[in-house]
Amino acid sequence: MAETILSVKDLLVKRSEQTVLQVGSLDIHQGEVLAVIGPNGAGKSTLLLVLARLLYPQSGQIYFRGLPIEQENELSYRRRIALVLQEPLLMHQSVFDNVASGLRFRGLPRTEVKHRTNEWLERLEISRLYNRQAHRLSGGEAQRASLARAFALQPELLLLDEPFSALDAPTRSRMLQDLHALLSQTSITTVFITHDLDEALLLGDRVAV
């Protein structure tokens, strides 16, 4: 059996005294894609924000590779994950600089930044856009840049929050196929949030409801 990379135990998130997320136990295994599906308001995105340490639960614990995530090791954990949201959240820079930004923040050598950035521009099929400003990208192009930025980090855990839900049907279909291929090639452990059963079945090794 594959190693458990992330475990959630007795997680509880409340807003204004109302429970918005309650998870008794959840294990995510090395190399798998876990698709989490449910309707709007079911707490899917809340779960992802908690896993990304952008939202803190009222109770419960998250374990990464067997160790609890605490304040003293939180930064180390964050450096080992990558997050892609529904909105691309690109900076007012070129596509190249956006994809390279995470690598630069982490202090990688310039040659390594250039190599990884160019690799993922090519693999996400946006090399031709390297010098284009982010505000001039289409929705699909912007999301490809976001995915390239995430994959370039070589994360141990990739968190995807409905990244294609705002795209038109043809663009969404193509990007789903491309993402499926990339996840198969890289074997990056992934949590994929969606409200679409077809997306969950295509990408997920397991589906959680």
Task: Name the average pLDDT for the chain.
Answer: 95
Q: Give the DSSP H or E segment for 187.
A: none
Of 178, 140, 158, whose CA–CA distance to 31 is shortest? 158
For the entire predicted model, the pTM comes to: 0.94
> What does the pLDDT read at residue 40?
82
CB 58 within 8 A of CB 51: no
Fold type of domain 4-207: Rossmann fold (3.40.50)
| pLDDT confidence bin for 41, thresholds 50/70/90 | confident
The β-bridge partners of 107 are none
User: How do residues 54-105 score in pLDDT, each as one tens digit?
Assistant: 999 999 999 999 999 998 899 999 999 999 998 888 999 999 999 999 999 9
Select the more confidently predicted residue: 97 or 209: 97
Percentage of residues in the chain having pLDDT higher than 70: 100
> What does the pLDDT read at residue 127?
98
Distance in angstroms (rounded) separating the CA atoms of residues 84 and 117: 17
The β-bridge partners of 7 are 27, 63
Task: Compute the average pLDDT of residues 95-120.
Answer: 97
Provide the pairing of β-strand 157-161 with 33-37: unpaired
CB 44 within 8 A of CB 209: no
> What does the pLDDT read at residue 64?
97
Distance in angstroms (rounded) separating the CA atoms of residues 48 and 90: 19
Which sequence spans correspond to the domains of the chain? 4-207
> What does the pLDDT read at residue 1?
63
CB 117 within 8 A of CB 127: no
Return the SS3 of 88: coil
Q: Give the DSSP H or E segment for 206.
A: strand 206-208
Task: Compute the average pLDDT of residues 30-49.
Answer: 92
The position carrying tokens 């997680």 is 11
CB 2 within 8 A of CB 29: yes
Helix, strand, coil percentages for the chain (3-state, nearest 5)? 40, 25, 30
> What does the pLDDT read at residue 13?
96
| pLDDT confidence bin for 17, thresholds 50/70/90 | confident
Provide the pairing of β-strand 59-64 with 4-15: antiparallel
Strands (E), 3-70: 4-15, 18-29, 33-37, 59-64, 67-68
User: How do residues 187-205 score in pLDDT, each as one tens digit?
Assistant: 999 999 999 999 999 999 9
